[in-house]
Amino acid sequence: MSITIKSGADLDGMRLAGRLASEVLDYLTPHVLPGVTTEALDKLAHDYITGVQGAVPAPLNYAPPGYTPYPKSICTSINHQICHGIPNDRPLKNGDILNIDVTVIKNGWHGDTSRMFVVGEGSIQARRLCQITYEAMWRGIMKVKPGARLGDIGHTIQTFAEKSGYSVVREFCGHGIGQKFHEEPQVLHYGRPGTLEELKPGMIFTIEPMINAGRREIKEMPDGWTIVTKDRSLSAQWEHTVLVTDTGYEVLTLSAGYPPVPEFVNAPAAAA
């Protein structure tokens, strides 16, 4: 197995799938309120993906080796949950932080993206964790260009997160994506510059750092999916699907309702 290079019509397929995934998050945003259950968000997302977008929610019944089939259409990870939280009937409460992770399949192509939501008014600490994680993802994205290496992305994310007083989850990573949900390569969110695979135009992968307010260690819950911080500290994650272009990167999972991109993204000199 090796890293697939996408071109031509593949890219149109990936651009459409990416935009649709982001539009699901746009659609859910006004519904993320105290009192709403994650099961209700899952149903809204399922019906929108299948009914309006004519697409397929990739998580539903997804069963990688060693896993039981995932039972819902989106992942919802609250507070100390790091990733793969399963929507349930517990109402969101004021101050919760919530990651919603959406992956759609459209015409055989996958688009994968997630955002953080602060329910009602969050604490300053919770909002800072979400903001730093957002900036960490974008700093990683900005490293993407032909000739750069995967280790450059991981190093940038790790350095920024740790300098901010946080830790980076090691056990889960970004991934190649296309006609399969998870392809090569693995995109670690830590590492050393100049190491690992060299980026080439046409590669498509996700960057999806999971950043903990406390220690980096994780624990898997008995449901076989939900991953939490071992020390029960808060955790945040953002995710984009990114194409390596001839000159840099193209983020495929943007849409009309996407939150503002950090200022340093369009003024790269300020990022140093």
Nearer to Co ion, 23 or 101 (CB): 101
Instruction: Please give the residue ranges that form the binding site for ligand MF3 (CB under 6 A).
Output: 59, 62, 70, 75, 84, 101, 103, 112, 206, 208, 225, 239
Contact 89, 167 (CB under 8 A): no
The nearer residue to Co ion, 101 or 250, going by C-beta atoms, is 101
Residue 119 phi/psi, 5-degree rounding, is: -85, 120
Residues 159-198 as x/- pattern, contact with Co ion by CB under 5 A: ----------------------------------------
Q: State the nearest-atom distance from the C-beta of 63 to ligand MF3, in Å.
A: 8
Of 90-98, 163-171, 237-245, 247-255, the window that binds Co ion (rule: CB under 5 A) is 237-245
In the complex, residue closest to ligand MF3 by CB? 59
Q: Which residues contact 217 (CB under 8 A, 6 or more apart)?
A: 229, 230, 231
Copy the structure tokens of residue 229: 């911080």
Nearer to Co ion among residue 259 and residue 268 (C-beta): 259
Which one among 42, 96, 101, 135 touches Co ion, defined by CB under 5 A?
Answer: 101
Rg (CA), the chain: 17
Q: CA-CA distance, 191 to 187, in Å (whole number)? A: 10
User: Judged by CB, which is closer to ligand MF3: 16, or 58?
Assistant: 58
Sign of CA dihedral 22, 28, 34, 40: negative
Contact 148, 130 (CB under 8 A): no
Residues within the interface to Co ion (CB under 5 A): 101, 112, 206, 239
